[in-house]
Amino acid sequence: MGHTAGEDLEGKTVVYGVTGGIAAYKAPLVARGLKALGVDVHAVMTHAALHFVTPLVMRTLTGNEVHVEMFPETMGSSFEIDHISLADRADLFLVAPATADFIAKLACGMADDLLSCSILATRAPVLVCPSMNVNMLQNRVTQENLDRLKQRGFHVLEPTTGELACGWEGAGRLPEPGRIVQEVRMLMSEHDLSGIRVLITSGPTCEDIDPVRFITNRSTGKMGAALVEAACIRGARVKVVSGPVAVDYAPWAEITSVRSAREMLDAVKDCLGEVDVLIMAAAVADYTPHTYSTRKIKKGEKTAHIELTSTPDILATIRPFKESKVFVGFAAETDNLKTYAQDKMVRKGLDMIVANRVGDADSGFASDTNSGVILSPEGVMYDFENMGKDLLAHRILDLVKERL
């Protein structure tokens, strides 16, 4: 079954608990982010949360009634016990922000409001996102409560560090809504690549001329980042060897930052023994300056020459260590896409090559979409036209999975 990136949680239900901390102001954005993934969101708010965000906002953004009362004065048309129906309906419970008080309640198994009662009654996984003053967070009571929750299988998204609304600096900030949504997505996705170890190279390399100048290319790392996120979300253990980029990689991956082709080769060699799949999405420089000048080269004559030597071909160098690993390469071409890519795949001993058309605004470097073809030694596996890099990443992983 192929994955549809962006909407792969269609039909799933999240019961979203909002408790009464100042970070509740981020709750509407979390709800919106979940809806954008196709999730059916049912908000449950504690009484304290009502001081920070109104049920009207949550109801409008989720498209569902907001639950607050354990003993509502008016019942819906069907006879449902709210805490049981919420508990049963949830594919996941999310609590963000989770206050110290609410965490203490969960740790003790208390059930004196609708949210705590529903969580006690659910069999669904629970993701707790603590947010509070740094001293409350670091208090041994809170730490022990969080440890107890983790030991019992609750998922905890650690708060980030920075300026807190109360004026203190330190740990206790609720992660940004996008980060919370990303964690939910990870927990709810099918982990069909669980146990698979994937190494992904990404971004450009930079070949230094002197302390000021270097040779590089237009790669931004967007395709690599999409592959990293997709592989992590599907449960793979992901290592990344990345050239200098501005993109953020998914938080679950282990990143090694490198600069030159030579450094990338060394880092790939270091990791290779422990991987099942290598995806070489990096745009590795083909040439590097023959010598590096430690002093800035001064402007002089009208013409200047930099002598270049070829960089090591990473795939060719590691080919003898391929064994049963799946090797995927990339090719960026402006013309003769299939012919050049086919030749590269054979020369580099690859199981698959993703050939991208470059030179158009909507394909290749810096763009959010790609056009091209995926080839294997047996022939064309997949043609793609203006396809989002997220979706293409999932398609590449689907094809890799078939070869494992």
Contacting residues toward ligand C5P, per CB under 6 A:
201, 261, 280, 282, 284, 286, 311, 313-315, 329-331, 344
107 vs 400, which CB is nearer to ligand C5P?
A: 400
- Is 31:181 a contact under the CB 8 Å cutoff? no
H or E, element range at 226: helix 222-233
Q: How far is the CB of 269 from ligand C5P (least distance, A)?
A: 12
Task: Report the phi/psi class of residue 372: left, alpha or beta, with left for phi > 0 and alpha for psi in -120 to 50.
Answer: left
164 vs 354, which CB is nearer to ligand C5P?
A: 354
CA distance 68 to 15: 12
Residue closest to ligand C5P, measured at CB: 314
For residue 123, the Cα-to-chain-centroid distance in whole angstroms is 26
117, 166, 206, 232: the active-site residue:
166
Q: How far is the CB of 3 from ligand C5P (least distance, A)?
A: 23
**What is the β-pairing status of strands 155-156 and 126-130?**
parallel
Q: How far is the CB of 316 from ligand C5P (least distance, A)?
A: 7
Q: Is 206 a catalytic residue?
A: no
Specify the residue for token string 């989770």: 98
Q: How far is the CB of 289 from ligand C5P (least distance, A)?
A: 15
Q: How would you label 164-180 residue by residue, b for 16+ Cβ within 10 Å and e otherwise? A: beeeeeebbbbbebebb
CA distance 243 to 308: 20
59 vs 259, which CB is nearer to ligand C5P?
A: 259
158 vs 343, which CB is nearer to ligand C5P?
A: 343
Q: How far is the CB of 280 from ligand C5P (least distance, A)?
A: 3
Longest dimension (CA), the chain: 88
**What is the β-pairing status of strands 237-242 and 197-202?**
parallel
20 vs 329, which CB is nearer to ligand C5P?
A: 329
- Supply the DSSP symbol for 67: B
3-state DSSP assignment of residue 27: helix
The pair of structure tokens assigned to 392 is 């293409």
Which residues are tagged catalytic?
Answer: 166
